[in-house]
Copies of this chain bind each other. A is one copy, B any other.
Amino acid sequence: MNTFHEINTPLRTIMTPGPVEVDPRVLRAMSTPILGQFDPAFTQMMNETMEMLRRVFQTKNKWAFPIDGTSRAGIEAVLCSVLEQGDRVLIPIYGRFGHLLTEIAERNGADIHIMECEWGEVFDQEEIISEIKRVKPKVVAIVHGETSTGCIQPLDKIGPACRELDVLCIVDAVATIGGTEVKVDEWQLDAVIGGTQKCLSVPSGMAPITYNERIEQIITVRKKVEKGIATEHDFLDVKQQPIRSNYFDLSQLQDYWGPRRLNHHTEATSMLYALREGIRIVLQEGLKERFERHRLHEKALVEGIKAMGLELFNDVPWKLPMVTCINIPVGIDGDSVRTMLLQQFGIEIASSFGPLHGKIWRIGSMGYSCRKENILFVLAALEAVLIRHGASLQVGKGLQAALTVYEVSHLVVK
Contacts and interface: CB of A to CB of B under 8 A. Distances in A.
Contact of A52 (B4, B21, B76): B4
A271 B21 CA distance: 15
Given A9-B32, A21-B33, A228-B97, A107 B68 contact: no
Contacts of A383: none
A283 interface: yes
A263 interface: yes
B22 A33 contact: yes
Identical subunits present: 2
B107 A348 contact: no
Contact of A6 (B29, B31, B70, B271): B29
Interface in A1-53: 1, 4, 6-7, 9-12, 14, 16, 18-19, 21-22, 25, 27-37, 39, 41-42, 45, 47-48, 51-52
Contact of A34 (B19, B80, B98, B276): B19
Contact of A73 (B16, B19, B68, B271): B68
B247 A73 contact: yes
A61 interface: no
Given A9-B41, A73-B68, A270 B36 contact: no
Interface stretch (A131-139, A182-190, A237-245, A301-309): A237-245
B36 A27 contact: no
Q: Name the prevailing secondary structure of the A interface residues.
A: loop
Contact of A19 (B21, B37, B244): B37
Contacts of A73: 68-69, 247, 265
A204 interface: yes
A268 interface: yes
Contacts of A273: 7
Given A6-B277, A39-B342, 20 more contacts: A1-B48, A7-B45, A7-B276, A10-B35, A18-B266, A21-B33, A22-B270, A27-B31, A30-B270, A69-B69, A71-B266, A73-B247, A80-B245, A98-B228, A100-B226, A104-B247, A107-B246, A203-B270, A204-B266, A270-B274
Interface of A: 1, 4, 6-7, 9-12, 14, 16, 18-19, 21-22, 25, 27-37, 39, 41-42, 45, 47-48, 51-52, 68-73, 76, 80, 95-100, 102-104, 107-108, 148, 197, 203-205, 226-229, 242-248, 263-271, 273-274, 276-277, 280, 283, 342, 348, 353-354
